[in-house]
Amino acid sequence: MKLNFSLDWLKWAAETENGCDVSAGVKALSHHCGENYDQVAAEPDYVQRQRLERNRLRYYIGLLIGDWAKVVTRSALDGGLILMLDDELRASLLEQSLVRQKTDRDCSTLEGLDYVLQELEIAGQIQIDNGHVQQRLKLTKPFQDSVSQADRQRLQEVKQVFEDQRQLGKVVETEEILDAHLELISA
C-alpha cells in the first residue's frame, strides 16, 4: 500500500513538527528531531522499549540493505532482520546444528516492521516497490551511520548464514536483487 500525501500536508506537518522527519504526522527518528527528553523519560517503560526497538529496526534495515547494495525482497529483509536480532538462532544456523530453531518468541513477524518501513519510505530513506509478488526495497540514500564492532560481527554472521542458505537453494542473489526464503522458526 502506498500513501500519497499532498505537498501542502507535508509542509504543514514539517512546520508542526519543527522540521523533523515526518511520517503520517509522527516524528520518525528521535535523533533527527529535537524531542523533549523530559517527556520521553516520563513515558511508560513499554513505550520507551517500543521506541528503542523501532530505532533498532530502522538502523538494521539501513545496515542490511546498504551492505547488500541491491534491491532486497521483503522475505530476504525479514530473514536478515530476524537473524540480526536473534543471536541464538544465528549461532545455531552457523553451527548447522539446527535448521529450525525453537525460540521463546514468534519470529515470523517483527512487531512494528510495517510501520517502520512506512516511516522510512515517507521520509525518503527507502523505496518500496509493491508491483511484484512480494515487496522489493532499496535505499534511496547510502547508509552512513557508524557501525559498532558487535554489529559488524552480526552482519558478517548473517551474510555467512545467507551464503550457507544460498547453497541449499533458499537464497537467490543476482547483480540486481537478493531474495531469500528461509525457515527460521519452529512449527
pLDDT tens per residue across span 22-31: 443 344 444 4
19 within domain boundaries? yes
Taking each helix axis from N to C end, the angle separating 74-85 and 87-95, rounded to the nearest 10 degrees, works out to 100
Residue 48 lies in a domain: yes
Q: Specify if 169 maps to a domain.
A: yes
- Which stretches within the chain are classed as H helix? 7-16, 37-41, 45-68, 74-85, 87-95, 113-122, 149-167
**Residue of 58, 70, 68, 146 lying closest to 110 (CA atoms):** 58
In a domain, 1, yes or no: no
**What CA–CA distance (Å, rounded) separates 19 from 27?**
10
Q: Is the pTM of this model over 0.85?
A: no
Residue 127 resides in a domain: yes
159 vs 106, more confident: 159
Q: Across-strand partners of 171? A: 180
Taking alpha carbons only, the member of 186, 174, 153 closest to residue 76 is: 174
Report the number of distinct structural domains present in the chain: 1
Partnered with residue 173 across adjacent β-strands are 178
Alpha carbon distances (Å) from 176 to 68, 124, 137, 147, 179: 10, 21, 12, 25, 10
**For 85-112, what is each residue's pLDDT tens digit?**
999 999 988 887 444 444 444 445 688 8
Is position 167 within any domain? yes
Residue with cell 509542509: 11
Q: What is the mean pLDDT of residues 71-84?
A: 95
Residue 186 in any domain: the answer is no
* Phi, psi of 180, deg, nearest 5: -150, 145
Domain membership of residue 91 as a residue range? 7-180
